[in-house]
């Protein structure tokens, strides 16, 4: 596995880290991919602090962690993380989906209860086999839903989505019926350089343990449990994200090789896999 951090650095500060030939210009930013372990990352941390203190400004605006696996690593993993690549809106709440907020945590806002079917706007759903709304509702094509049902994968719960305008296509909401515990090895935070647990009144790490951080930063580590071997699709009990407007903390989704096999056999679009670890 290779792990790199993509940073979009403000062009006016890029010379503090990079040679003129390094990185790719993107408007007012320079994008650069730095391997984890490179001493440049330590320098980024120092520059971030320095520019904050001296100019009350950001060194970089955006960062993301990218992992690339060999076929062998993915083929032999005992557990996989299912990563949904596309996000869309409007969210269910804006289209008439009802939620009971009284069940949600008063600290982090996780665990509200959906009441009844998921309502969405048909025309806003991306042309992928799987996608998620900004509020974390997972939507799946008829094709993908059928493939999972035919294979009798365990842990998959599907309910038809409702639309105000009649549609010839059917979409399903995907929910995991099994839940697993993340281990403390799973790292979450604002970004690679900032592990703040709260900011501007927002709570990123819940004292009650529901939400563990704003973004997932490491690979996923799951506590050993027979539930993992009894199911093909699972959600983590601990959530990632924040309560902000329509946004809510969301689970991480995990799946078996059987689930991945269906995705590969049917050329399912809109998702990718990372290796998850059982500890």
Enumerate binding residues for Zn ion (CB under 5 A).
Answer: 105, 107-108, 206, 208, 210
Nearer to Zn ion, 43 or 208 (CB): 208
Provide, rounded to whole angstroms, the least separation between the CB of residue 207 and Zn ion: 7
53 or 106: whose CB is closer to Zn ion?
106
Nearest distance from residue 197's CB to Zn ion, in Å? 12
Residue closer to Zn ion by CB (options 239, 260) is 239
Residue with Cβ nearer Zn ion (37 or 201): 201
Give one DSSP letter per residue of the chain, joined into a string.
Answer: -EEEEEEEEEHHHHTTTS-TTSSEEETTEEEEEEETT-THHHHHHHHHHHHHHHHS--SEEEEEEEEE--HHHHHT-SEEEEEE--EESS-GGGGT-EEEGGGS-TTT----EEESPPEE-GGGS-SSSEEEETT--EEEEHHHHHHHHHTT-TTEEEEEPEESS--SS-EEEEEES-EEPBPTT--EESBTTB--SEETTEESS-TTSSEEESEE-S-EEE---HHHHH-SEEEEEEEES--BTTB--EEEEEE-HHHHHHHHHTT--SEEEEEEEE-
Shortest distance, position 242 Cβ to Zn ion, whole Å: 11
Minimum distance of Zn ion from residue 154's CB (angstroms): 28
Question: Measured at CB, which residue is nearest to Zn ion?
Answer: 105
From the list 61, 65, 121, the residue with the least C-alpha distance to 94 is: 121
Cα 143 to Cα 87, 170, 269: the distances in Å are 19, 9, 11
Q: Count of CB atoms within 10 A of residue 102's CB?
A: 8
Rank residues 136 and 155 by Cβ distance to Zn ion and give the closer one: 136
Minimum CB separation from Zn ion for residue 237, in Å?
A: 11
- Minimum Å gap between C-beta 108 and Zn ion is 3
Smallest separation, CB 119 to Zn ion (Å):
26
Q: Which is nearer to Zn ion, 82 or 182 (CB)?
A: 182
Look-up of token digits 């983590």: 236
Q: Based on CB atoms, which residue is closest to Zn ion, 8 or 210? A: 210
Distance CA 30, CA 151 (A): 46
């Amino acid at each position: 596995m290779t792990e790199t951090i993509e940073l979009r650095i403000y062009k006016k500060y890029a010379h503090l880290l990079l040679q003129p030939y390094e990185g790719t210009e993107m408007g007012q930013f320079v994008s650069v991919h730095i391997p984890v372990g490179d001493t440049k990352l330590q320098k980024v941390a120092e520059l971030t602090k320095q520019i904050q203190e001296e100019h009350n400004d950001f060194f970089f605006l955006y960062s993301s962690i990218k992992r690339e696996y060999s076929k062998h690593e993915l083929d032999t993993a005992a557990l996989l993380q299912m990563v949904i690549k596309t996000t869309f809106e409007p969210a269910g709440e804006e289209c008439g989906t009802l939620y009971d907020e009284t069940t949600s945590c008063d600290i982090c806002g996780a665990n509200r209860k959906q009441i009844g079917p998921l309502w969405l706007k048909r025309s806003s759903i991306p042309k992928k086999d799987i996608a998620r709304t900004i509020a974390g509702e997972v939507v799946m094509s008829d094709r993908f839903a059928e493939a999972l049902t035919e294979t009798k994968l365990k842990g998959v719960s599907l309910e038809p989505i409702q639309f105000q305008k009649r549609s010839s296509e059917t979409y399903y909401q995907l929910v995991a019926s099994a839940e697993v515990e993340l281990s403390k090895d799973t790292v979450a935070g604002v970004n690679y350089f900032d592990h703040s647990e709260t900011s501007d009144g927002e709570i990123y790490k819940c004292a009650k343990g529901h939400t563990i951080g704003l973004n997932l930063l490491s690979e996923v580590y799951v506590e050993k449990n027979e539930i993992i071997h009894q199911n093909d699709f699972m959600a983590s009990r601990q959530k990632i994200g924040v309560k902000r407007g329509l946004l809510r903390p969301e689970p991480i989704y995990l799946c078996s090789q059987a689930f991945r096999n269906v995705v590969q056999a049917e050329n399912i679009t809109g998702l990718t896999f990372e290796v998850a670890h059982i500890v």
